[in-house]
Structure 1
């Protein structure tokens, strides 16, 4: 009998004259209690994934897009150390790590005017796909600016998804990948918390995923009230706020 499917959570068993569609190899639940707001939660580690959004040079490194614009990137670098501690723990627990990053086409044929305007509102500076003076092309797929910051080291088993909208679910393979792996609970990290992280989290909620934002693993260069509103709305409308320490504590105390 042959296994037919790229992941054990969604796999047929096929032989001559018979197809087994029961997907009997789905992993057993692994309940993990996590302190969170507005309520504590119990998640299934066997059906969870970490989605890390836009921890890229253009947002988090000297010489990148935001730094070139004179924006203080310190808040966008704040998630680096918590993620350096969290990611190996999740890998050891077989929780998938999904790196969700900007990467635009050189011809920008799938980028509409309003998205271009968002990155250079008066048209005077470099915009998406254009080269920063003395630097790389902004968020161009394959460019230095679109690369994950050096301090974070994706593993060979990690998953990479490229996006070209603020939300990582729009016109990408993210939803198909997560569903094929049988993942229903998503932990969110990355930058900017009130922009790409939030829009992706919102779309995940709309698609039926359980969503949790890791407060110490997100950052934003927006004013403080934007982060306050983000936390408020996550807890009120979409899911839960927690942090990496609470998640690790839950994993370590799980039976």
Structure 2
């Protein structure tokens, strides 16, 4: 692994996804916080770039994707700026100098400045954590591969609604060239 050109992406670790009271709670998300904290700590200590990828919708729901729009408008809005659900989980709060990329679709690359920022900073290797595997993590991973980034997925630092869903997605990503490893393997290899 070329550690000098490596960036950490933390995807959608916001209260609405991570905590049980969240509107779009992902069952396995909260358990990944300590793992992500360990990886984040190492990136901070070594001065490597950290990107907090967050989802955000307008209060009127005009930018919510069609599949979620009804839930947003008829039940309860989610990840609206300034709300509790929009906030990043407290244990992963960004520090000054860390990047925040705002998205309103699955992939962190779609309609965002992520690719521009990574290329401007000379970053070729992405270490990916967050929630959830079959949606935002997977879409980001596949777009990263399509854009010729080297990708490492921290398997115990990503979540899905069930272990079976997580395992299936990890297996699929490993078959297309993603380095899939747990946090201990990753940290031992740095």
TM norm. shorter chain > 0.5:
yes
Q: Retained in 1: the 8 A contact 2:11–2:54?
A: yes
- Cα displacement (A) at 1:74: 4.6
* Aligned residue among 181, 184, 197 for 2:121: 181
Q: Equivalents in 1 of 2:4, 2:147: separation in Å? A: 19
Structure 1 residues 216-247: Cα deviation after superposition (integer angstroms, max 9, x where no partner): 111111x4332122111111114110122122
Q: Pairwise CA RMSD of aligned residues?
A: 1.9
Deviations, residues 97-123 of structure 1 (Å, cap 9, x unaligned) = 110010112233333424425xx39x7
**Which stretches in structure 1 are left out of the alignment for 5+ residues?**
1-42, 68-72, 131-137
CA distance in 2 between counterparts of 1:115 and 1:215 reads 27
Equivalent of residue 160 in structure 1, options 100, 104, 112: 100
Which residue of structure 2 lines up, in the alignment, with residue 45 of structure 1? 3
Map 1:91-110 onto structure 2 (within 5 A).
91-110=44-63
* Larger of the two Rg values belongs to structure: 1
Asked whether the equivalents of residues 65 and 105 of structure 2 are also in contact (C-alpha less than 8 Å), the reply is: no
Q: What residue is the counterpart of 1:125 in the other structure?
A: 75
1:248 and 2:187 aligned: yes
Shift of 1:45: 1.1
Using CA pairs below 8 Å that are at least 6 residues apart, which structure has the higher relative contact order?
Answer: 2
Q: How many residues align?
A: 190
CA–CA separation in structure 2 for the residues paired with 1:86 and 1:230: 21
Is contact 1:102-1:141 (8 Å) kept? no
Higher-helix-fraction structure: 2
For 1:88, the equivalent position in structure 2 comes to 41
CA distance in 1, matches of 2:149, 2:81: 28
Q: CA deviation at 1:57?
A: 0.3
Normalising by structure 2, what TM-score? 0.91
TM-score (norm 1): 0.69
Structure 2: segments with no counterpart, 5+ residues: none
Q: 1:78 aligns with which of 31, 46, 55?
A: 31
